[in-house]
Structure formats: C-alpha cells, structure tokens
Structure 1
Amino acid sequence: MANKWNWRRDIIPIWLIVVAICLAIHYYPRLPATIPIHYNIEGIPDRYAGKLQGILIFLVLLPALYLLLTFVPFVDPFKHRALRRYKVFLVIRDICLVFFFYIYVLILISAAAGRLHTTAIQVGIGLLFVLLGNYLPKLPR
C-alpha cells in the first residue's frame, strides 16, 4: 500500500491558507490598532491583541495545523494501522482547517465591524461537532 502525496487532495487546504493570507492583506488597513482575539460566552471580547499579532496568529496556526495533521500519522508508533485510514485523517484535517478559517474570517469581520455574530460561531461549532462525530469513529483505536 503506497501512500504517496497527492497534490489534488491538498488543493482545499492550500487554497484556504492562500485565501487567509489574501484576507489578511485586504483587511489589515481597515482594522483598528487592537483587535479582539477571544470572546466570552456573551460575545464580549475579553482578550485583545495588536493588529499584526491578531492577524499573524491564524496565519501561523493554519499552515502549522495543516502540516501537523497531514504528517502525524507517519510518526505514530502504530503507523501501519493509522495509514490504513489515512484518508479519514485527511478529511478530519480538512474539517479542522475549514473551521479555523471560518473563525478567522469571523474575527476579521468582527474586528472591522466592531460586532461579533455569536450565532455564526455557534452554528460553526455545531457543524464541527457533527462532522467530527461522523468521522472520528472511522479512525483506528
């Protein structure tokens, strides 16, 4: 069983990372000097970061998450079992990347507009749980 790298399988994650960089370039001049990066349960910001730091957090997180979730099955001590379900690992990777991209877009929009849409975050978290709940049982134990 050969698990060669298939560039077609990585189009979506790479596209998300490139779009995140383009969004950062587009929104950077429109953002205030400090942007909220963490919200409490009521949707009120309780942690702020500088404009550059707030943008770079996700621009570093997305590629790091992509690399980590792509290659972690290869360093697993039970690699032979993990590689049998490598496509499921990649689907979970894509779900996580789409979710973090979605949160990144919401944070950029809320920082530029000054208001967070908590319903959008709740819907995103609900979809994350539904999708992960569908694929996690397919992974080897």
Structure 2
Amino acid sequence: MREQMDDSVQKKYQIGVEAALEVMGGKWKPLIIYHLMTGRKRTSELRRLIPGITQKMLTTQLRGLEKDEIITRQVYNEVPPKVEYELTPYGWGLKPALDHLCYWGEDHLDKIYGDKSKVLEEFHDS
C-alpha cells in the first residue's frame, strides 16, 4: 500500500502520464533533460544547446526540475560563480521514455519529410 501524502501536497491524476507530463512536460524540460544525459552542464552550455530558450525560461525550467528532484544544482565557490546541473539517479529514470520519444520523432520526420537527415541538418544549420 502506498504512503499517503499530506492533502495539501497530494494531487489527483487519472492516469500516470498526467503525473509524468507535469514533471517533464512542455517544450523545454525534455530538451534540458536530453542534454543533461550527455553529462553535467553549465547554464551557458544549455543556452547554446537549446536555441530559442530565454535565460528567464531556462532558469524557471531548471528550478522546476530541481524542485522535482530530476536534476541537481552544484554551486562552486568561485568568482565569477560557477553553477552546474546534472541528472539525479531519479532523473535518469526518464531516459527510456525520452529515448523512445527521440526514436518516434525521427521516424515521424522520415514519414513526413522523407529524408530526416536533411531536415535535421537544416535545423542545426539555422
């Protein structure tokens, strides 16, 4: 039997995908998680890897992922301050789901556009 959460914290979901989407849903969180799967990153690295995200949005999304214990934030006592983010063991549990989304997305591009490598190449060149 599952432990009951405090009523003020407990949320009701009809299906598990609702809970998953609350934690990792949206446009930016899956991209942040995906890039952290290759190793710890500084904020500036994530900004370069995710074109189109604003600093404010990146900070908001990182805070949310940290609150949900998907990532950890390491602050180094340096001048200027150095901050790095990495996936927690709990966050690594999302890898299979993101891998499947990536495979499906590539198949989708292939179905819609034919040669997905050209689409991806154009995206990376822009």
Settle same-fold status: TM greater than 0.5.
no
Structure with more helix by fraction: 1
TM-score where L is the length of structure 2: 0.30
TM-score where L is the length of structure 1: 0.27
Greater relative contact order (Cα 8 A, min sep 6): structure 1 or 2?
1
